[in-house]
Amino acid sequence: MTILSNRYTAFACFMLGYSYILSLCGGLTPLWSSLRLEAPILLYGYFLLNGILKKNRWQPWLAALPLALAYTVADIYFIIYSRFVRLIEITEIPELLDILPGQYIALIVIIGAASALFFVLSLDWRRGRRSLLIALPALAFILCMEFFPGRFLGAFQSLARPVTDWSDANSVADNGRFTMVAYFEAQRKNSIHKTIAFRHKQKFIEQMKALSLQIKGAARNRNVHVLVLESFLDPSIFANLRYSQSPTAPAFRQIVGDTDNYSISPVFGGGTAQAEFEILCGVPALRALSSVEFNVFTGAKTFCLPTILNDAGYQTIASNGHKPKFFNAIPGYTGTGFQNIFFPKENAPHLETYLTTGDVEKEWYMFDGKLLSQNLAFIRQQIKEHPEKPIFNYVMSIYGHLPHYMDETVRPQFITLQPDQKHQDEHLTAAVNQHYYRTEAIASYINELVRLDPQSLIILVSDHLPPLSSGAETYNTFQYMKNIDQSIYYNRLVVLENGKAKQYDVMHHYDIPKLIANYLTDGAYCRTHQCPFFKTAFAGSGNAASASDGQGQDDYMTIMAHATM
């Protein structure tokens, strides 16, 4: 009994100390703030693992390893992406492997396989019946979470502290890591069941159909061009950095002029599909049904912006510089309403397309200039062949993604950061140089597009900020947005109406469809709907306001109900 007590006492002390060390590295709150719920789960987990492993001197350490590793994964994920991991994100591992270098994939596979093999060999198969009895509470817990999520959530609410809708970190601090993993999974399952009731919400459906008719009557065949740029970081927003020369191309500065627009993304460091969902569907990406909304899209039409514009007579075109399997892109785009979807032929040889990546051996990802020049030629052809049919031209780039490789023979790095900071982020230097070449290419595209299509709306927005080497720490160190609250979710936004840059108040990505609707209805939309980008003082950040708004949640659930049919 003394040995058992010492083992569990030592484990508890270790996890308390280890969680504190993780918090010092930028991770989540130390364990002691959530002991009431988290400690029983951890101690039971440690008891269970001790019960199924062979008795030897390594048993206490092996039993602690999976639990400590789970904490490590959760905190590293939080450090990089500034949000708490969900259980369903296991399904996104293929996307992660798809963008990692081959040597990293090999290392992950080797370490994972070796760890799994070592753990399996350490199992005590002779005590199978006893192990099963020990595991029964865990099995009951999992079955309730997966198959009776409503009851699980009811029990959770009676035992746990209130969940903070706008802050994963606060919720974890109050209730614990494993506790919140279970809560978010049960909430996801419960939301899936709830969508059935939202498939016939006539009020929302009728509003979307009325908007289509309103646009059809007022748009006068004006085209809309939306450029969503992967990890488009504007270095001028850092208050604590200086450069050897301006990191923005002169032609781009001339286009933007004195405007200074920002849009708040739902994600930081990754999760492009979440930003796309908000931009295309006009509701917050609440992650109610999945960690990524597009991952549960079936291709069934739902009431997003492309569907609305289709009904208004528009030709809807989506051009993506990456791969169709990334974040379930084809069902996602089809479900939002796009009639024409294009990927580079190298990434989708079985699909009809006008795109080609060109040489990406050294940079990995298709350069913006290559993507945009091809898109410009395609749009020019569409306008010439179908002048009577307005166009919604949606372009999603991939250049700028980690690891920020640059082909020095074509795009040499020539901008240095001054002064040379002791803790300078190496990815930041590359991103700064990429910004110059990207803005140069974007300016060329926009100038030609305005000449080709002067009476149109052009929107340029970043999906999210890149994580760089140290996640939010780099942004805080160099005072991005002067470190205002939730600054890492603010992204550069450029809006050109009929060839002229326009100034708006801060908005969210999910407000962009409102901006488009207002332009196409000559301002009539915002006279009858709330448009935050016209407020003189914008309060709030992230998804806090809309996530707690009942109507916003109903609209989200209605869209998802149709998307998952």
The three-class DSSP label of residue 469 is: coil
pLDDT digits (tens, 9 = 90+) for 99-116: 555 665 676 677 677 777
Place of tokens 């970190």: 169
| pLDDT greater at residue 205 or residue 282 | 282
322 pLDDT higher than 90: no
Cα distances (Å, whole numbers) of residue 117 to 113, 121, 246, 322: 6, 6, 53, 35
Half-sphere exposure in the Cβ direction for 483 (13 Å, CA): 9
Let me know if residue 204 belongs to a domain. Answer: no
Same domain? 283 vs 396: yes
Which pLDDT does position 551 carry in this prediction? 65
pTM equals 0.77
Alpha carbon 499 to chain centroid, angstroms: 30
Same domain? 181 vs 227: no
Let me know if residue 65 belongs to a domain. Answer: yes
Let me know if residue 292 belongs to a domain. Answer: yes
Mean pLDDT is highest, among 188-202, 370-384, 413-427, 535-549, for: 370-384
The three-class DSSP label of residue 337 is: coil
Q: How far apart are CA 66 and CA 291, in angstroms?
A: 23
**Of the candidates 86, 296, 288, 283, the residue with the CA atom closest to the CA atom of residue 190:** 288
Place of tokens 């009639």: 339
166 — pLDDT class (breaks 50, 70, 90): low
Other C-beta atoms lying within 10 Å of the C-beta of residue 30: 19
Same domain? 65 vs 172: yes
Same domain? 25 vs 135: yes
Same domain? 151 vs 239: no
pLDDT digits (tens, 9 = 90+) for 369-421: 999 999 999 999 999 999 889 999 999 999 988 888 888 888 998 888 876 55
Cβ atoms of 306 and 337 closer than 8 Å: yes
Q: How far apart are CA 218 and CA 229, in angstroms?
A: 29
Same domain? 185 vs 229: no
Same domain? 243 vs 115: no
User: What secondary structure letter does DSSP report for 91?
Assistant: G
DSSP character string of 125-171 = GGGHHHHHHHHHHHHHHHHHHHH-HHHHHHHHHHHSPPP-TT-HHHH
Place of tokens 């950061």: 417
Same domain? 126 vs 239: no
Let me know if residue 308 belongs to a domain. Answer: no
Preceding peptide of 324 cis, ω within 30°: no
Q: How far apart are CA 277 and CA 507, in angstroms?
A: 15
Query: What CATH number is attached to the domain comprising 280?
Result: 3.40.720
pLDDT digits (tens, 9 = 90+) for 217-266: 886 779 999 999 999 999 999 998 888 899 999 999 999 999 999 999 99
484 pLDDT higher than 80: yes
Same domain? 187 vs 220: no
Let me know if residue 436 belongs to a domain. Answer: no
Provide Rg for the chain, Cα atoms.
25
Which pLDDT does position 230 carry in this prediction? 93
Let me know if residue 369 belongs to a domain. Answer: no
Q: What's the token pair of residue 148?
A: 């009776």
Give the per-residue SS3 of 352-421: CCCCCCCCCCCCCCCCHHHHHHHHHHHHHHHHHHCCCCCEEEEEECCCCCCCCCCCCCCCCCCCCEECCC
Cα distances (Å, whole numbers) of residue 208 to 311, 339, 378, 498, 542: 10, 18, 29, 25, 25
* Residue 342, domain extent: 215-259+274-298+335-347+384-423+454-478+490-565
Same domain? 163 vs 239: no
Same domain? 45 vs 135: yes
Q: Which residues does 8 contact at the CB level (< 8 Å), separation at least 6?
A: 43, 46, 47
Let me know if residue 268 belongs to a domain. Answer: no
pLDDT digits (tens, 9 = 90+) for 258-310: 999 999 999 998 889 999 999 999 999 988 877 778 877 878 889 999 999 99
| pLDDT greater at residue 117 or residue 45 | 45
Instruction: Phi first, then psi: give them for residue 350, nearest 5 degrees.
Output: -90, -5
Same domain? 37 vs 122: yes
Let me know if residue 440 belongs to a domain. Answer: no
> Based on the structure, what is the number of domains in the chain?
2
Tell how strand 261-264 and strand 490-497 pair up.
antiparallel
Place of tokens 């989200």: 556
